[in-house]
Structure 1
Amino acid sequence: MKIISSTQLKELDKYTIAKEPVASIDLMERAAEELTRAITHRWDTSFHIVVFAGPGNNGGDALAVARMLSKQNYHVEVFLFNTKGKLSEECQTNLERLKECGSVYFTEVSTQFDPPVLTERHLVVDGLFGSGLNKPLNGGFAAVVKYINASKAQVVAIDVPSGLMCEDNTYNIRQNMIRADVTLSIQLPKLSFLFPENEDIVGEWQLLDIQLKKDFIDTAQSPYYITEEEEIRSLIKPRKRFAHKGTFGHALLIAGSYGMAGASILSARACLRSGVGLLTVHVPIHNHDLLQTTVPEAIVQTDIHDHYFAEPVDTDRYQAIAIGPGLGQEEDTALAMMEQIQGCPVPLVLDADAINIFGTHRNWLSRMPKRCILTPHLKELERLIGKCMDTYERLTKTKELAAYLQSYIIIKGSWSTVVTPEGNCYFNPTGNPGMATAGSGDVLTGILAALLAQGYTQEDACRLGVYVHGLAGDIAAEEKGEIGTTSSDLIDALPAAWKKLTETKGRFTKE
């Protein structure tokens, strides 16, 4: 699913009006019908509806919704803010239609505003400002927003919570944004909905399809996408009848300093649960017996050092290498890692301490091979790009780093994001807070190593890997609950996740 900018959304409206063709006021009526349907599905007539409408088309939507709710026997009160004495054409038309309705309590606010009492039995419909807003709210509108936010009323926002901009809110004023319980987004989500700092602003968001022209969306240029299940299903390679373990690749995992063997175990188990044919795990001498016992399917190779990685490994036998889980940051380890990855002939995943080593040796970044996959959590990413004011700035800097390194960066977290060297950003919809637990990232590294060893491209491995990782988390949380989910539970759920994504495909393909 593509995410387009606020400017493109305006162009999409115009394109639909011209090409369908449909009058602008009729398109607004269509949107209002979908908005009303969504509201009546969630809130019954026991709620008193209070509509706050602005002077533009978002206000026009709100006035149309007020009229439709009134016709369905809701108690509706409307406040139209027209402080400059000028309404958009569609807003003016819907004002006239509302007045003809007769059963709505209506107030047009031009100067002083006498606010209504708002209780927990009121539903505020926020139609002050929509996706066209390009500057922070201030003055009287900011005061109205603060009044609504301080009330006990539930709030449903039309398209975008008033005060929130669709993309960049770095210099916005957060206390001057509506805090919605539900946001009813028209046709497409907005980029800012996916940022954690906006969770309390947007609330739960729901898409409403008003049949805007799909061909415009398909051809619109945008770097932002939300991955969908059907896309992921199409990426998965079916297994051939005469396949053998060599068919599915040999991965090398370099992980687990002394005391951190768990990271290597989790990563190895996840790799083996994600279809790799063979897996070799390279560990310090003191971790050998533990790995051999806990992951019997893996080949265990020992380093020269008792406690950490200190000697590069010959890579001729492998189709993919993953380095980092529990690796440690000893100087010998850092030097061995750099020697290992320079000139590496196979796809490479760098995670955890492998990333931290670059964070403490920033001048080494220019020596990183191209087409690597980096999987930082936010703190690890910060060590590479510096502190950021918000998610938009973080995303911008990550795109710059991915372009500089010509590598793929997975920003781990809610809506984990795959950032490509070309600047595309794929937001992953699967996963839940139960995955915020030690070892979850190690599991992802194992999955990625398995996919690369099987011949997936770096981009496909990233998108497929984060999706199945999150899906396994969802399956685990369904059984264990979010609080009780561990990283081992994610691994145990991987077979079910893979099965779900492949169950409609044929079991075998012909040679």
Structure 2
Amino acid sequence: MVPLLTAEQIRQADAYTIAHEPISSIDLMERAAKAFVNKFVDLYPEPASVLVCCGTGNNGGDGLAIARLLYERGYTDIAVWIVAYSQNKTKDFEVNYQRLLAYPIRSQELQPTDPIPTIAADIVIDALIGSGLNKPLRAPWDSLVKSINQETKIVISVDIPTGMPADGKMNGFEDAIIARDVITFQVPKLSFLFPESGKFLRKFHVVDIGLHQHFTASQDTEFCAITEDDIRSRLKVREAFSHKGTYGHACIVAGSENTMGAALLCAEACLFTGAGLTTVCIPFSGLSALNARLPEVMALERSKLSEVSTGKYKALAIGPGLGTGEEIKGYLSEMLADDLSAAVFDADALNVFAENKNLLALLKEGTILTPHMKEFDRLFGDSDQWWDRVVKARTEAKKRKLIIILKNRYTFIALPDGKIWVNFTGNPAMASGGMGDVLTGVLVGLLAQGYRSEEAAILGVFIHGKAGDLLVKEGMGVIPASLLIKKIPNVIEDFSTIL
């Protein structure tokens, strides 16, 4: 895992690196500027006219170094704005300003009372204010930001769009640079992971600036990113003399007369994730569809639901397409009163819990819940922003000893120990019906194979997203859930192979 640090922790990492590498602050700034320029050239390889907008702090110092380094890389049509809305100039800004004077790069200083010039350049690099911002922009900064946005130029921000907070609540932060790309240093800013950031940036790119690895790894942070190494170290290799009994028996309680598709997708995903045996508990009306599509999957008629909690099954998934009527509520109440196997609850099961909060208290430790935003709010109360929602997920997971998978573009996995693992696989092409049913099938397939709930959650969310990423690489712009299922074995093979 990689710790995802707050802006304050990143500043501490800067200071620690300067003191213990050792390296001077100006040389660390130069290293960051070089990393930015390398990524910038990858993104925009054809030299174009560039305007670098610099504040007078260290973010502006980065911008001055970037302008100089871009000139050296062949981007000779460069202009610099030095936005002197503050009289304070950092030492490293001053050093980079003196270095810039040795280059034939046009620069002009903007005072608070100066009119904002028209931008002629093709690309604007935003190096106005860095990650230290903790309150909304005020005049004249807000007017400058609005003016730059109105120019509709290609904007690339240095580390973070000006006006956007790096972490914490985002309400009130309405005026911020709208960036096509953000090239950010060392780790993503936490605010990039929340949907509210979508109006300020299209895509972010993380570049390594060599901050002290031991220090960053030792930081006490609630958030961490799932890495490929986390997946390789957890996935088990299928042994030569194993058999279907080795990989467990999963039971999926899902589907109703009009929503059998959810049950079929969930069962197929479980099958392709590698459960040794899969049974789906469905209404009698769904038997023909199940037998026609998934002959490998066994059926348990809904009238025999009491058999689900007898201990016959190693893992359970309950909810996709199940319905929320009184009969379903009665089923869930009876099941939760028994000592259930490892279980994942999704979709309609969550909606029943939301209407009958007392059922949440019956969930055993290690149970997995997989809500999307609206389901989560119905379960645990409304939140008007994602920061509060994720903090609430952490609180509830810790209090109730549950695993809460809060689905999002970057999905948050809240664990009972208070940690929040963030998944970075997946893409917008997966925004189609049935994807949640597939995820639930992946999770129960992993639980059936003996993975602990925490492991199943981390592995399942990663595998699900990675399968979608493979399809995007193959040219898929929109991915049906049934097609994604077919890629799951490829991901598992890729990450369980011993290198």
TM-score (norm 2): 0.95
Corresponding position of 2:357: 362
Give yes or no for contact 2:36–2:183 (8 Å, CA) kept in 1. Answer: yes
**Identity of counterpart residues, as a percentage?**
36
Corresponding position of 2:197: 198
Q: Hey, what's the Cα distance between the residues in 2 that align with 1:401 and 1:16?
A: 36
Q: Hey, what's the Cα distance between the residues in 1 that align with 2:24 and 2:168?
A: 31
Give CA-to-partner distance per residue, 1:393-415, whole Å, 9 cap, x none: 21111112212321011112311
Corresponding position of 2:348: 353
2:415 to 412, 416, 420: 420
- 1:3-402 aligned within 5 A: 3-43=4-44, 46-73=47-74, 74-99=76-101, 101-119=102-120, 121-174=121-174, 176-304=175-303, 311=306, 313-402=308-397
What one-letter code is carried by the residue in structure 1 that aligns with 2:495? L
Q: Hey, what's the Cα distance between the residues in 1 that align with 2:62 and 2:412?
A: 33
Cα distance, 1:111–1:432 mapped onto 2, change above 3 Å: closer
Paired residues, number: 497
> CA shift at 1:201, angstroms?
1.4
Q: Hey, what's the Cα distance between the residues in 1 that align with 2:70 and 2:77?
A: 8
Q: Hey, what's the Cα distance between the residues in 2 that align with 1:94 and 1:163?
A: 23
Q: Hey, what's the Cα distance between the residues in 1 that align with 2:141 and 2:16?
A: 31
> CA shift at 1:319, angstroms?
1.0
Q: Hey, what's the Cα distance between the residues in 2 that align with 1:369 and 1:314?
A: 13
Q: Hey, what's the Cα distance between the residues in 2 that align with 1:210 and 1:380?
A: 39
Partner-residue secondary structure (3-state), 2:310: coil
Partner-residue secondary structure (3-state), 1:130: coil
Partner-residue secondary structure (3-state), 1:279: strand
Give CA-to-partner distance per residue, 1:249-282, whole Å, 9 cap, x none: 1111111122111111111111111111111211
Q: Hey, what's the Cα distance between the residues in 2 that align with 1:396 and 1:81?
A: 37
**Unmatched tracts of structure 2, length 5 or more:** none
Q: Hey, what's the Cα distance between the residues in 2 that align with 1:294 and 1:40?
A: 49
Q: Hey, what's the Cα distance between the residues in 2 that align with 1:476 and 1:315?
A: 40
Corresponding position of 1:452: 447
Q: Hey, what's the Cα distance between the residues in 1 that align with 2:338 and 2:365?
A: 10
Give yes or no for contact 1:443–1:491 (8 Å, CA) kept in 2. Answer: yes
Cα distance, 1:320–1:102 mapped onto 2, change above 3 Å: closer
Cα distance, 1:46–1:282 mapped onto 2, change above 3 Å: closer
> CA shift at 1:448, angstroms?
0.8
Partner-residue secondary structure (3-state), 1:413: coil
2:492 to 471, 480, 498: 498
Q: Hey, what's the Cα distance between the residues in 1 that align with 2:472 and 2:108?
A: 48
Taking only aligned residues, the RMSD between alpha carbons, in angstroms, comes to: 1.9
What one-letter code is carried by the residue in structure 1 that aligns with 2:409? S
Q: Hey, what's the Cα distance between the residues in 1 that align with 2:44 and 2:328?
A: 59
Q: Hey, what's the Cα distance between the residues in 2 that align with 1:314 and 1:26?
A: 63
Q: Hey, what's the Cα distance between the residues in 1 that align with 2:135 and 2:235?
A: 44
What one-letter code is carried by the residue in structure 1 that aligns with 2:242? A
Q: Hey, what's the Cα distance between the residues in 2 that align with 1:102 and 1:287?
A: 74
Cα distance, 1:262–1:456 mapped onto 2, change above 3 Å: same
Q: Hey, what's the Cα distance between the residues in 1 that align with 2:345 and 2:127?
A: 46
Give CA-to-partner distance per residue, 1:424-471, whole Å, 9 cap, x none: 122212222222222111111111111111110111101111111112
Give yes or no for contact 1:31–1:210 (8 Å, CA) kept in 2. Answer: yes
What one-letter code is carried by the residue in structure 1 that aligns with 2:488? L
Give yes or no for contact 2:135–2:173 (8 Å, CA) kept in 1. Answer: no
> CA shift at 1:127, angstroms?
0.9
Give yes or no for contact 2:68–2:103 (8 Å, CA) kept in 1. Answer: no
Cα distance, 1:490–1:41 mapped onto 2, change above 3 Å: closer
> CA shift at 1:72, angstroms?
4.1
Q: Hey, what's the Cα distance between the residues in 2 that align with 1:480 and 1:329?
A: 38
> CA shift at 1:283, angstroms?
1.5
Partner-residue secondary structure (3-state), 1:317: coil
> CA shift at 1:45, angstroms?
6.7
Q: Hey, what's the Cα distance between the residues in 2 that align with 1:64 and 1:181?
A: 21
TM-score (norm 1): 0.93
2:435 to 415, 435, 440: 440
Corresponding position of 1:2: 3
> CA shift at 1:104, angstroms?
1.9
